[in-house]
């Protein structure tokens, strides 16, 4: 049996606050040579990133930043280039239909290394309104107060 090793490299902490997360998917990333080395070093940011489905039935990760790998010199990659996501056709159609019909968006949640391969967890999400965010803050504050009172 092979043991799965997972190393989380980057998380999108704002996603839970900004969106209602409906459904999660796991996708592979198509990377260039120096990009995987930068990802393993933790040099990736996905807070401003989003996923777009193209007309050719492909999913793309846009606006993510993978820092240039210092040792790669002239063979380095473009830090903000679009990166293709590896998903099954059924998953791509499901995401495409949800975005077109229900007005949802696709956001990255976290990037991790699973058995030496870079994976990204993406989610089908609906944006929160301002009053939803206020409710979330109020609930979180209530839970903190309860925990503090239990400790005392």
Which residue, among 11, 8, 9, has the nearest Cα to 122 in the 3D structure? 11
Q: In this structure, what DSSP letter does residue 152 have?
A: -
| DSSP conformation letters of 126-138 | EEPPHHHHHHHHH
The distance between the two most distant Cα atoms of the chain, rounded to a whole number of Å, is: 59
| DSSP conformation letters of 32-93 | -HHHHHHHHTT-EE-SS-EEEE-TTS-EEEES-EEPPPGGGGGG---TT--EEEE--HHHHH
Rounded alpha-carbon distances, angstroms, from residue 9 to 24, 39, 58, 61, 125 = 18, 7, 24, 16, 22
End-to-end CA distance of the chain: 47
Find the domain containing 69 and state its range.
7-151
**132 within domain boundaries:** yes
pLDDT at position 151: 82
Domain count across the chain: 1
141/75 Cα distance (integer angstroms): 49
Q: Read off the CATH number of the domain in which 21 is found.
A: 2.40.280.10
**12 within domain boundaries:** yes
pLDDT at position 118: 92
Tens of pLDDT along the chain (152 residues) come to 456 788 899 999 988 888 899 999 999 999 888 888 888 888 999 999 999 998 778 999 999 998 888 777 777 777 888 999 999 999 999 999 899 888 789 999 999 999 889 999 999 999 888 888 888 889 999 999 999 998 87
**1 within domain boundaries:** no
**20 within domain boundaries:** yes
**114 within domain boundaries:** yes
**2 within domain boundaries:** no
């Amino acid at each position: 049996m092979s043991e799965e090793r997972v190393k989380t490299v980057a998380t999108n902490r704002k996603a839970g606050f900004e969106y209602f997360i409906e459904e999660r998917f796991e996708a592979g990333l198509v990377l260039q040579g120096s990009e995987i080395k930068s990802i393993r070093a933790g040099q990736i940011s996905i807070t401003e990133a989003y996923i777009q489905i193209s007309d050719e039935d492909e999913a793309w990760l846009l606006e993510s930043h993978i820092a240039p790998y210092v040792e790669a010199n002239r063979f380095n990659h473009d830090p903000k280039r679009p990166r293709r996501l590896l998903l099954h056709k059924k998953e791509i159609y499901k995401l495409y239909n949800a975005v077109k019909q229900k007005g949802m968006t696709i956001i990255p949640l976290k990037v991790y290394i699973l058995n030496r391969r870079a994976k990204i967890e993406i989610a089908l999400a609906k944006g929160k309104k301002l009053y939803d965010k206020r409710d979330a803050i109020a609930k979180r504050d209530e839970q903190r107060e309860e925990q503090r009172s239990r400790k005392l």
